[in-house]
């Protein structure tokens, strides 16, 4: 009986898809209502992010950028979900989720400063509803539950959304955050970008569960598995989850089935040690940019000239943002001490005096 029940639960979570790998509509009923201009804007953002990713990897190798987690392959998952948000919604990102917060409003040069570990990268502009990218795996899940509950108590017509990878779904914070949000019916959306590897550990070795989406059942919330290489499916699923949350129907867990084409981070990871070339080839054929490009070309909405314009703009924006980041004053120990308290306690006053003297030499 228990085995049958488990199978019944698992069978509920079939992968939601709108566009197949050839860019053909396979689920007409689920097609979101997006204008031609909005469809083009989504493509522009994905192309822009792919160029940004390539340049960031190069800058990291040159020693001009600090910590960086490549995003190529996950553009549909990241940008399709962000495109479904309202500007007043809150994003609580993980360390790979920089594109979402940049398109939500964070200046690009600040994203570069964050990568360098400069405090300027965490000075969020007034009115921008994002949190600083979370380094602790899964911690943003609990924070999102809290932010969402705060929005509910303040009667705001907005949601809190967060992102983690499949590895994050193996953390205790993952269930605790979802359970809390479910118990208080908070307007939260939890996105697990299942790129199949928690650094080097395959998802099959992380959990006996057939899907991550089914873990929503234990928390008593809605769950859905989505083709994370299909930007329209991700957009549609996120939009529906947002609408459910605002209608008072509770949180949603969205598992996007995606793949990172590069290493986990640029800090020495070598994916060839744990991923086969056959697996890489399989997912290369699912490239979200290729798929969506085919769809738009079929509708007469995308040309090589348009793509080249986006590529040129991305390169120019990155160049300008790096100049601005380079011109930002280097952070000092006294800066970091000064930020900690409105009024410094005695021990920090002593340190402030010591380092002020050192820095003045």
Is the CB of residue 253 less than 8 Å from the CB of residue 190?
yes
Cα(174)–Cα(58) distance, integer angstroms? 33
The answer to whether the beta carbons of residues 225 and 213 sit under 8 Å apart is yes
Distance (Å, whole) CA 206 – CA 167:
7
CA distance 150 to 146: 6
Give helix 288-298 / helix 36-61 axis angle, nearest 10°: 150
> How is the beta sheet containing 188-194 ordered, strand by strand?
90-92, 160-165, 188-194, 252-257, 222-227
Active-site entry in 50, 96, 109, 260: 260
- What are 92's two structure tokens? 């609580």
Q: Examine the residue annotation and report whether 274 is marked as an active-site residue of this protein.
A: yes
Token pair for residue 276? 């086969």
The phi and psi torsions of 251 (rounded to 5 degrees) equal -75, 165
Annotated catalytic residue within 244, 264, 275, 293: 264
Exposure string for 315-327, b = 16+ CB within 10 A, e = fewer: eebbeebbeebee
Distance CA 195, CA 269 (A): 15
260 is catalytic: yes
Collect all residues with Cβ–Cβ distance below 8 Å to 354 and sequence separation of at least 6: none
Residue 264 annotated among the catalytic residues of the structure: yes
The three-class DSSP label of residue 16 is: strand
1 Cβ partners below 8 Å, 6+ apart? none
Which of 175, 184, 261, 274 is an active site residue?
274
The residues annotated as belonging to the active site are: 260, 264, 274
């Amino acid at each position: 009986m228990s085995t049958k029940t488990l199978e019944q639960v698992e069978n509920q979570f079939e992968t939601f898809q709108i566009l197949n790998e050839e860019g053909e509509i396979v689920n007409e009923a689920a097609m979101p209502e997006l204008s031609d201009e909005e469809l083009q804007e989504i493509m522009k953002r994905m192309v822009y992010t792919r160029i940004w990713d390539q340049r960031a990897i190069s800058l990291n190798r040159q020693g001009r950028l600090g910590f960086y987690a490549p995003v190529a392959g996950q553009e549909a998952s990241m940008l399709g979900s962000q495109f479904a948000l309202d500007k007043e919604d809150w994003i609580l990102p993980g360390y790979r989720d920089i594109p979402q917060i940049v398109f939500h409003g964070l200046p690009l040069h600040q994203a570069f400063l964050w990568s360098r570990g400069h405090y300027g990268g965490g000075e969020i502009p007034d009115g921008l509803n994002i949190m600083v990218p979370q380094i602790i795996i899964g911690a943003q899940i609990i924070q999102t539950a809290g932010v969402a509950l705060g929005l509910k108590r303040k009667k705001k017509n907005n949601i809190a959304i967060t992102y983690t990878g499949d590895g994050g779904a193996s953390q205790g914070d993952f269930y605790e955050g979802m359970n809390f949000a479910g118990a208080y019916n908070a307007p939260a959306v939890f996105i697990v970008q299942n790129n199949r590897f928690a650094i080097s550990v395959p998802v099959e070795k992380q959990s006996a569960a057939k899907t991550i989406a089914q873990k929503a059942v234990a928390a008593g919330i809605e769950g859905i598995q989505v083709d994370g290489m299909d930007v329209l499916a991700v957009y549609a699923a996120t939009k529906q989850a947002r609408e459910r949350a605002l209608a008072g129907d509770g949180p949603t867990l969205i598992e996007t089935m995606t793949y990172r084409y590069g290493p986990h981070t640029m800090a020495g990871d070598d994916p060839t040690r744990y991923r086969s070339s056959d697996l890489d080839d399989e997912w290369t054929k699912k490239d979200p940019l290729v798929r969506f490009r085919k769809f738009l070309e079929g509708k007469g909405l995308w040309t090589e000239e348009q793509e080249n314009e986006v590529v040129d703009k991305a390169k120019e924006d990155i160049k300008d943002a790096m100049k601005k980041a380079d011109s930002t004053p280097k952070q000092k120990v006294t800066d970091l001490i000064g930020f900690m308290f409105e009024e410094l306690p005695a021990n920090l006053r002593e340190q402030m005096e010591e380092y002020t003297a050192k820095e003045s030499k």
